[in-house]
Structures are given as C-alpha cells and as structure tokens.
Structure 1
Amino acid sequence: MNGFAGLSISDATLLLPPRSDGVNLIANITLPNPSVMTLEIGTVVFDLQSDDLVLGNGTIDNLVLKPGNQTNPMEGILDIQKLISNFGLLLEQQAQSLMNGYLRLTAVGQSVTYAGVEVPYYTQALNNLTLAAQVPLAEVLINTLQNSLDSDTSG
C-alpha cells in the first residue's frame, strides 16, 4: 500500500462542546490505494500524535479500501487538557509546520475490528504503520467557528 503515501486530512472541525459520546473532532481522511484490490477492513482506531505525544484518537468506521483515492469520515477525541498542558512542547515540536500554517500529526494504528470482533492480521499490520498528515490550521479554525455558530440556536 506504499505506506499510504498521499494520505490527507481535510475538513477538520473541533466540536465545542463535545458530543455526548465524547467525540470532539470530526474530519475527512483520504486514503490512497495504489493496488487493484478492494479490501474490506472494518473499524480502524488509531492514536493521533505529535511526535511521541499522544493527543487523542481517531476512528474510521466500516473502512473499505477500493482502488484509487477515497475519502472517509473520521471521528475522534482530542485531549484538550493534554494539549494545553503540553503547549510549550507542541510549539517546539511543531515550529516549522506552524510557520507554514499546518499542524503535523501522525496516526499510529491501535486496532481493527470487523462486526465487533478484532481482526488480528489487520491490527498487527496497523500497529506497525505510522501515517503522517498535515492539517491546515486556518481550515480547522474556520470550520470550528462555523460549526459553533451553526449550532448556536439561541441567536
């Protein structure tokens, strides 16, 4: 799968306040599949990290990789308290990316389940895979503000 070169995250939005299930991050993730095979993967959970600092997690439900690029919704939980308490370290780690308007994140696979049952083969492969993406900060800010304004029914 060529390490999913070309992976991208778009339409990232922080949900403020979070949903009742704790989800406070939604986005779309585009995964390239350069092969000619269609792979029915299942539900994929991964850690979202800045270098070795785990900032939260992301989940892609019912992932099916068809040949070519496809975009899938992702939901996650960003640990805002951890982000704030490690703000100095994050600024240091992310200095170059931030200067270019991005947050550089890596996604490290944790588990794959299909119909509620863990798939060891996929989980093991995912545990050994680190996916990198740059998230445009201006887009996150605009999407978050727009979502907050749209959900504010009090006027």
Structure 2
Amino acid sequence: MAKEVVKQDGTTHVENDGTPKKASLGQKVKRHCARFWWLDLLIFIAVVLVIVLPIVYVGYPNLAQKEVNKGVLNITSMSLSDPAPDSFTLELDSVLSTTSKYHPELAAFNGSLHLKDSDPAFAYLDIPKVKAENGTVSHVDQRVQIADMTEYTKYTMTVLGTEEYSIYLKGRGGLQQGGLPKTNVNYNQKITLKGKSSLNSLKGFNLTSFNILTSEQEDGANANGTITIPNPTVLSVEMGTVTLDMSVAGTPVGVATIEDLVLKPGDNSFDMRAVTNQTTVVTMIFTDYKSGILPIDVVGKTAVFNNQSLGYYEKALQSNKLSFELDVIAALRRAGLADALGISNSTSKA
C-alpha cells in the first residue's frame, strides 16, 4: 500500500509498503471475462439450448399436433364413378374449417379412409399439399384401389342404409410454420359431408309411372315406367345397370331393370323396364287384392358396369328393402286390357 514520506530537507515522496491494491468488482469481472470468455460462451450457449430446444422440438410439435386435431374437414362434393370390382374413381372437394391463428404449410401425404372404430382401411388417397387456413379448398381426383373389400362393402352398406355416419382420414405428414423447422403430425380427421351424410335407405323411392306393354319386346320386358329416387347428400354414385326383385307378401312378381344408374344429389328420375309375372299379378287382384292396389316390395339384385358385377354395390342393395304401391287395374285400363279381364272400375295411383 502506498504512503507519503517527508524527508529532512522538507521534500516528500511516495513509498509503497508492499501491500497490493485490492481490485474492484468490475475489475475482477473484466479480468475473468478476458481469461475465461470461451467458458462463458459455452455456458451461454448451453443455457440457450436448454431453453430453446424443448420449445422447438417438443413444444412446437405438440402445438402443431394440437392445432391439426382441432381442424374439421367438410366435404362439399364427392363422386364415386367408373366402378370396377376392385377400384373406382374418386373426385371430391373439401373445405378446411379451423379457428387456429397459425397457418402452416401441410405437406402432401398418403392417407387412409376408415369407418368409425374400424382399424382396416377401405381405401388410400393421395392428399395434396395445402396451406392450413380457414376456408382452404382441396381437390382430389384419382383412381382408387379398394384396400379391403369387406370394409368397403361395409362402407357402401353404411352410406345406403343409415341416416348418418362418419368416416375418418388417417395418416402422417409434414408441417412447417414459417421459418420454424419442419415437423411431422398425425392425422385422424373426422370427415363430415355437407348436409345429410347418407342416402338414408333411399327413403322417398317411388314408382311414379307404370305402363303395361302389349307388344313383344327384344329384352322380354312387358312393362315400363319411371322410378324416382331422392338423394339428400352431396355424394354422386355411379352404379351401372341395376336389377331389382319385386314381390308381394313374399311372392315374386317380377324383375325391374334400370340402365346406367347414376345417383346424383337431388331428385333423380330413371326409366325402368320390367319383366313381370302377369298371371300371378292378375290372380292377386282377383283374390287378396281386389282393390287392384298391390304393395310391392323391392330388393336390389345385381349391379353391373362394363359387364362386370359390382359385389360391394349388390350387397348394399340387397340389404335395403324398398316398397311402393302399384295400381294394377289402372295400368290394365291404360293398356286396354281391363275390359277383357272383366274389370270395369278402378282407382288410379300410378
């Protein structure tokens, strides 16, 4: 430590007593940084990584998955066309509904379609890349191979024979939000069809006109008419040539054929030709059904497209019983046959 010394001649000088001057805190910090800057840098980097890495590689993927799970896919139009025994062409338009404030890029991926609570997929789709914004429209148009015939048959039966149903899109694909690294998310999205989701057992099916043919026909038909089928969904289905078994109280009375049946959204009208058992029908109106009104039960029999049977549609049609009332006496009168059978009066409903 320094001190001032006065000499005999009156002059003064400063002497150091050998005790070092104590460094201040700032000097110590400065000296430490100069000597151990590399260690401080490593510690800083480690702290940043400990904080940032969990956010980027744990928090970010978890948030991405959460936001994807909240999204809803609404089908605005869907078409199943050009059917084959093991495939079909699918065209659909969908709209993404989301309230998320994040709008990442969703990479294209291969997705599988499932019925609710069913593990096997009935088909696989190539889902295109989209930006996840509310109202984003996605279009798919591709040939689809049926992955599991049992499941696809269940799907067609569900579409035809239930009031409502759900299908699920599953898969795994990439997601990227802005400058953040790409992550992967799992899809298990419930798909909702706009309006009614199913054909509701073809309720409203009806025979709106019926005529007895008195001349010989090449196809053997002895009757024709018009059948109406309402479709309350956004789904269009091409089923090919469909045949329908007709019966009254379990007794077969004929087979009806509809050529090139394409069931489109809205009300559909189809020309129908039938081969009926006229002897059985006439016997009925003279015995159990003297009013001339026959309660006809209808069950699908076959569905053929390009000369190939479509088993998945046939089973769906066979599982769905339809009915309508047919005024046979009115049809006989229009054909000029009522008088020949001794029938003078009737009511008319078809």
TM-score, structure 1 normalization = 0.79
Deviation of the 1:135 alpha carbon: 2.2
Task: Report the 3-state secondary structure (helix = DSSP H, G, I; strand = E; otherwise coil) of the residue aligned with 1:145.
Answer: coil
Identity %, equivalent residues: 27
Match of 1:128 in 2: 319
Residues 58-97 of structure 1 aligned to structure 2 (within 5 Å): 58-84=256-282, 87-88=283-284, 91-92=287-288, 94=289
Residue-pair matches, total:
139
Which of 54-63 and 126-135 deviates more?
126-135
Deviation of the 1:139 alpha carbon: 4.5
Task: Report the 3-state secondary structure (helix = DSSP H, G, I; strand = E; otherwise coil) of the residue aligned with 1:22.
Answer: coil
Query: Larger Cα Rg: Structure 1 or Structure 2?
Result: 2
Which of 26-35 and 131-140 deviates more?
131-140
Deviation of the 1:110 alpha carbon: 0.7
Match of 2:248 in 1: 50
Q: Report the residue type matching 1:123 in the other structure.
A: E
Task: Report the 3-state secondary structure (helix = DSSP H, G, I; strand = E; otherwise coil) of the residue aligned with 1:38.
Answer: strand
Deviation of the 1:38 alpha carbon: 0.7
Q: 1:36 to 1:139 in 2, by over 3 A?
A: farther
Deviation of the 1:76 alpha carbon: 0.8
Higher relative contact order, chain-length normalized (CA < 8 Å, sep 6+) = 1
Task: Give 5+ residue unaligned stretches, structure 2.
Answer: 1-198, 338-350
Match of 1:20 in 2: 218
Q: Is 1:141 aligned to 2:339, yes or no?
A: no
Q: Report the residue type matching 1:53 in the other structure.
A: T
- CA–CA separation in structure 2 for the residues paired with 1:57 and 1:90: 22
Deviations 1:102-126 (A, max 9, x none): 3221111111011110001000111
Match of 1:115 in 2: 306
Q: CA RMSD in A?
A: 2.2
Q: Report the residue type matching 2:277 in the other structure.
A: D
Q: 1:88 to 1:137 in 2, by over 3 A?
A: closer
- CA–CA separation in structure 2 for the residues paired with 1:18 and 1:47: 21
